[in-house]
Structure 1
Amino acid sequence: MTDARLFVASGLHAGASIALTADRDLQIGSAADADLILLDTGIAPHHASVRLHGNRLELHAAHADIAVFGQALKVGARTQLRHGATFRLGETALQFSNGAPPTEQAMKSAESAWLLAHAPFTWLRRKCARIPRYQWLAIAVVPLGCALLYSLNNLVPRPSEKRSSPLDEPAFRNVRQRTDQTTGARVYEGYVQTAADLGAVSLVARARGGAVRVRVAVIDSMREQLSDFLDKYYRGVRLRAGERPGVFVATLPAADAYLQPESWDYARVDRLAQGQVDGLEALRFDGHENNSGPVRVPLEALGLNLLNSPHAAWLADQQGARYFAGAHLSIGRIERIDPCGASVIRDDGSIYVLIAQRTSFGKSC
């Protein structure tokens, strides 16, 4: 996540932000040598530090009065946050972002995931607070009915049977349990369909006691996050589940709904999506291959025209500026220009082939 940033959401410095560099500690406090200086009341010289690990932000509490989603962190504690998460140093709120303001869904997903992993009863209490009163009546009646049925059932003799785990239910067929050989903790990994299923997995796991880590992704949340991500590249893209959990297939609109040159670089979009959406194993595109070869992009997508003379060929933009081989465009350096297109080398070494419909002499390409 090369464009990750930390935004100041409240206080004297509201609106300020700082870029995050992978695997480098960033100090936050009121001291002059802090990387992010906050002069709000109650901010210690070195209040906290953060470090970017992939698409997660690790927060280290170096001072008291630090809270994540309303849950206080002990001095010395470390925790990992996902895109959209907010934490507070005193009365100052900071938000972790991938560079653009997170959507409301991303913020809710970040809060739900963190609370499920670290404060499941708080998560459950907040969920219950949103339930309408008439539904509480049904919730109160159902246990009484279940108790009555249980009592009647015990009156009927039945052969003994092996008790199964709640995780043996079909909703949890894609959840796996293993033991971490280093720490001895039970690790739950895999996929469930809804946030309610994830809550059930978390509660069952912690009810058994001992050290537990839950790394289960919610397919519904993944679909929403992936849809938000693809909106930057395409208009009207449709998503469906792939051949296994963690894989999605995108049906793309017509080429005129492609929003930027990188929209034709399916391998790049797949790679960036995996870094953005937790649990995503692969993103496939109907009718297109995610290969690593040259990417074919229409010249019109960059607002360029191809012009030829008997002695040279060049590209021209809408303002009339000319670009010859060796010149730099917004997407990279022009390697060569042919009668029907041009080759551009990006900073990362990938090659984009810019294709023209016709030559400047009117011949089809």
Structure 2
Amino acid sequence: MSKYQLQVKEINKVFSSGFLINKTQFKAVNNVSFNLKAGEVIAIVGESGSGKSTTARMITNLIKPTSGEILFEGTNIKEKKFQKELPERFQMIFQDPFAALNPNHTIGYAIGRPLKLKNKTEGSIREKVIELLTLVGLTPAEDFIEKYPYQISGGQKQRVVIARVLGLEPEIIVADEPTSMLDVSIGIDIMNLLLDLKEKRNLSYILITHNLASARYMADRIMVMYAGEIVEIGDCEDVINSPKHPYSKLLLQSSPDPWQTNDEQIDFIEPLDTNKLDKGCKFQFRCPYATEQCRNSEISLYKLVDEREVRCNLYEKVEDR
């Protein structure tokens, strides 16, 4: 038995478009590897287009990796015997709760339908739906069962989505920007709910976010992605308080902080089409420390201490010690 609940090993995703001579390819995720322990929360952070949501969808088997392996408790999720178990082991909370619920179906139907399909309850489905609604803080639950999505608020919709996910009793939940469509105060309530459910249900989370504040609030570890690659990974507080990669520093610098000083500010440069780079660091044109080595050689993830790693030539010598 592996000590890790989830192991992601060098997964890649290449999307193709066009036909024959006009066919083009885009590498959305490039050799991403990380591990998740039971009960852990890891946040995948990066700007739009960094590959974080594509990574999440590969983990939940919504899209297939071009190459690489994803193991759950040592078993490859592609194995036929595991496919039926997969929806009950992994669930996903999507970014937009408004789009996640069918406006033609009641809240009771939305939560109860998966329970019926998977035979997840021996008693009344209505009773189980009431239990789940109560668990996510929608009380009195009887008042919500017959309502339609348009009759409840955005925050309440997200709680309904979470209740539906919990009905299948997953072990790992991938939350893709679960608060980005909500007001700040409501978003904090949702994060508190997720953390409370983590303890009650022994859940593990993969949190997808562009918001470092959300990552710091919820996560044990942070994985920073840029242009489809991991550029830094480590303990949450370590990455926030002492970012090593220039892109991590840029992310932190762009977050509102009244105590932030002007020391080591990185000038913002509009990102280029990194898919056209055939060699060197993907961040080279935005980095104030870029050298010829950065432009002409492959950049590895260098291990600093424990599980802290960074993809930057500035730390190449650290690994040799």
| Structures share fold, TM-score greater than 0.5 | no
Question: Counting helix residues as a fraction of each chain, which structure ranks higher?
Answer: 2
TM-score if structure 2 supplies the norm length?
Answer: 0.26
* Greater RCO (CA < 8 Å, at least 6 residues apart): 2
TM-score if structure 1 supplies the norm length?
Answer: 0.24
Find the structure with the greater CA-based Rg. Answer: 1
